[in-house]
Structure 1
């Protein structure tokens, strides 16, 4: 069986194959008119395999969630504003609420002297009315009292009679309720100065968020600000990642002879979270078909999507194929790509849960995830028609010391680093699908098209940006 560590064998092998066509197990067969039927030739293209997956994966049913649980989910309905935001005129500064006429012409030499009639704190009710020659001390966010037309910042005043040095404000509790004082204002203020108008953010009845919006922190904040405690969304998909291989040891445990550490389940679970899913990682399952079937059945209860890694090639211990082909629900096929030639896809269990079976070598499994699993996750979220269903792609010029070779008829994905400033991409590491260290230092995939067998430095290529 293929492994999810750095084993020397490559079950993403892309050498010659006598495979003459896709298995008839795919979605119940490939008869005439079957929309899920594979191509007549022996190899599926990358695009055909992805199209087959997206045609079968439907968005999850909407549910109502509390705001903290809705982060990362996709709205399924327009949200309108029930009340204006802010709901009342309020002060943007600590200072004094005044009438414009009372501070007209005020200066350091000739300040306007006003009677302070009380305090207005944030959340206050029973507001005092500001009349001619009067002012109300006001805090940031507090409602503008009736009669007041502007707010002068405390820095424009002496801080009020008996209230400390200029530029400071006495705490509201420092004077008895209703006690009057004086404040000297050294600058004039225009009407509505330092006042946040009611509805200046959004007005009642306006669209706050449109259906299809992915709820990030700012969107969650807006929903809370307009009083929404719950929201109707498509939930984040639950993705279960299962690695296979009797040779696998969990990180942190002693590594005995002939064994390797399980890396794939950690990498793919992290990739699933990065794509927007809730990820569950299952420890490595040994090379036993019954054990794998039992593990999958146990996980179906919490899975919207299952991902296995390893055991999809033609080896004697490739038990993923053995475990999943017997009932005809999963089709194992070969793709015209490198790395990642062997792939499996099907709908399993009573709820027809999608399962993607990926190769076991680290680079093969990760490239396969980015090309096929990530779009499936986004489709489950209801984002299949958005540009960000897949990773962004750009054109970049190859920066290399020598030409790159590529197998004829295969779309090759090589690791690289992308420089946006120069518009160039540089290969990292070799083409081996076990070279996980090179993958860790790459931020892009170079795409060599099927018709190319070599790429010279200076050639423009398509580049998939990873993150």
Structure 2
């Protein structure tokens, strides 16, 4: 049986929807959501950005044999003379990918190429450029040039057969494709793509290409939402602009329920929004309206709505362009990743603030920042300037978000602050 929002919020001792801390809202969303269970099998070249549905167990060891890490000469480390030059007789050549019957004895060596299988008894490789002398039938090594065991890769050094190669929940990246290919794996199980419907609300909004009447603005939120959802690898359903009219909103929400796992809206959730927004969402499901202790992006609606036996999780974001992006990144993004079954936490790093930052304790602030490296090689961050929630240009100038937590007050120049880099996030 699916839980109710009231069941989840009852776990918080001081739950107040009109003054909800960021961390409490994130916890409620996380506890209320349910991951998608359906999976599918995809070819390796179609797996980039998909979420691995289960652990991948390595069918082979990588590398499969002890092999050389260098072009050089393989021999027994015990032959090295620590006090005088060591001269070894060359008795053969070992190439990568070719079988060899070479079996050097004491005082002998074989020329070996990078990746060549180490002959029985050999445990050390000297790179050819480190040899003191090389002839057609011998090689000389100065004392102290290397130690026993140098430049040998062990079988299974990268990965042992029977061990997990990749863990379920991982978002597949380019290196993962290479690793799976090295194991001979051609297809992998992934969670199906999350279907997300999104639309903007507001009579003042116009689509690109339409005339801009007095008092109207072009709808930018659908484009940023499109970009953010596409980056997450969602299957997206763009429902356009929905007018500030009860039946239009109800029709849009019911239509979204029919085809989507989640719905993301922008606008219509602030204190000044028409009462019908709350009424319709309440009629369609289990939805709550919050005033989050944050800046920008205070209003937020969250819950689950249903229509004709189908349901979808709802994220009602504010209407201001920057507030939409901040609310998405710090509430909706993590939630959608959880629904995908992905393990992709956002990591914060600490850097010095290049200047003072004004901040009131008691709320979380997300300020647009530019991280750079100063003359001393230290990483510092400065905010982009005015932090108004409608200044979308500042998001294009920033390369990180400065996270100022609830308990923090004013920041002085030189203080350490938490930042989240946009690289990998956007």
1:221 and 2:178 correspond:
yes
Q: State which structure, 1 or 2, has the greater radius of gyration over its C-alpha atoms.
A: 1
Distance in 2, matches of 1:317 and 1:112, equals 89
Correspondence for 2:61: 84
Distance of 2:270 and 2:346 partners within structure 1: 26
Q: Is the 8 A contact 2:266 2:318 kept in 1?
A: yes
Q: Of 242, 250, 253, which aligns to 1:286? A: 242
Q: With a CA cutoff of 8 Å and minimum separation of 6, indicate the structure with the bigger relative contact order.
A: 1
Deviation (angstroms), 1:348: 2.3
1:123 paired residue number = 97
Number of matched pairs: 405
- Say which SS state the counterpart of residue 306 (structure 1) adopts: strand
Contact 2:94–2:102 at 8 Å: present in 1 too?
A: no
Provide the C-alpha distance between the structure 1 equivalents of 2:413 and 2:126, rounded to a whole number of angstroms.
63
Residue 307 of structure 2 is aligned to residue 356 of structure 1: no
Does the 8 Å CA contact 2:250/2:280 hold for their aligned counterparts?
yes
* Counterparts in 2 of 1:155 and 1:242: CA distance versus 1, 3 Å: same
Which of 199, 219, 225 is matched with 1:242 structurally?
A: 199
Q: CA deviation at 1:360?
A: 1.0
- In 1, are the aligned partners of 2:258 and 2:311 still within 8 Å (CA)? no
1:44 partnered with 2:20 = yes
How much has 1:291 moved relative to structure 2? 4.4
Change in CA separation of 1:300 and 1:134 when aligned onto 2, cut-off 3 Å = farther
For structure 1, which runs of at least 5 residues remain unmatched after alignment? 1-26, 158-165, 168-181
CA distance in 2, matches of 1:130, 1:423: 55
Normalising to structure 2: TM-score of the pair? 0.70
Q: Which residue of the partner structure matches residue 436 of structure 1?
A: 392
Q: Is the 8 A contact 1:240 1:306 kept in 2?
A: yes
Residue 307 of structure 1: SS of its match in structure 2?
strand
1:327 paired with 2:284, answer yes
Residue of structure 2 aligned with 1:59, choices 25, 35, 39: 35
Shift of 1:346: 1.3
Match of 1:341?
A: 298
Deviation at 1:199, TM superposition (A): 2.9
Q: Give matches, 1:49-448, under 5 Å.
A: 49-61=25-37, 63=39, 65-66=41-42, 67-72=44-49, 78-94=55-71, 121-125=95-99, 127-129=100-102, 139-144=113-118, 183-188=136-141, 195-210=152-167, 213-232=170-189, 234=191, 237-251=194-208, 253=209, 256-258=212-214, 259-274=216-231, 276-278=232-234, 280=236, 282=238, 284-287=240-243, 288-300=245-257, 303-313=260-270, 321=278, 324-349=281-306, 350-382=309-341, 389-390=345-346, 392=348, 394=350, 399-400=355-356, 404=358, 411-418=364-371, 426-442=382-398, 443-447=400-404
TM-score by length of 1: 0.65
- Cα gap change, 1:324/1:155 in structure 2, threshold over 3 Å: closer, same or farther? same
Residue 356 of structure 1 deviates from its aligned partner by 0.3
RMSD of Structure 2 on Structure 1 (CA): 5.0
1:435/1:137 CA distance change after superposition, 3 Å:
same
Residues 293-327 of structure 1: CA distance to partner in whole angstroms, max 9, x if unpaired?
A: 44444444663332111222355779855653432
Q: Which residue of 2 aligns with 1:465?
A: 420
CA distance in 2, matches of 1:428, 1:456: 15
Question: Contact 1:61–1:234 at 8 Å: present in 2 too?
Answer: yes
